[in-house]
Amino acid sequence: MDSRTQKASVFAPIPPEVERVAKIVLDAAFKVHTALGPGLLESVYETCHAYEIRESGLLVETQAAIPVTYRNIRLEGGLRLDWLSHQFHRAASQRRHQADGGLRTPS
């Protein structure tokens, strides 16, 4: 398909709360990398990044375990996130709740 016949993609606007948290996270990343420069272990950047995010007032959990379901068994610790912002989790849960017409309880 050539580019003249492709339809334009339409995306929903980013909610203001998600935009606000994303800006804090990106600003923190730039601050850490500007201060430390390249070449350190990932764990150093992760620790400093989490510190900067917390300093801006957000809650963040590092090395958050994500369970994996294997053969219908929930196995803890299958995956780990470098960090998890609880503000993102709460905003996503509220959007899912609204999209379901209020049928699901937000987490």
Residue 53 burial (C-beta neighbours within 10 Å; 0-12, 13-18, 19+): buried
Question: Residue 30: how many CA atoms within 13 Å on its side-chain side?
Answer: 6
Chain centroid to CA 83: how far? 8
Model-level pTM? 0.64
The closest alpha carbon to 30, from 56, 4, 66, belongs to 56
Is residue 81 within 8 Å of 69, Cβ to Cβ?
Answer: no
Q: What pLDDT tens digit does each residue of the chain (107 aa) get?
A: 555 556 667 888 989 988 999 999 999 999 999 999 999 999 999 999 999 999 999 988 888 888 888 899 988 877 888 878 776 555 555 555 555 555 444 44
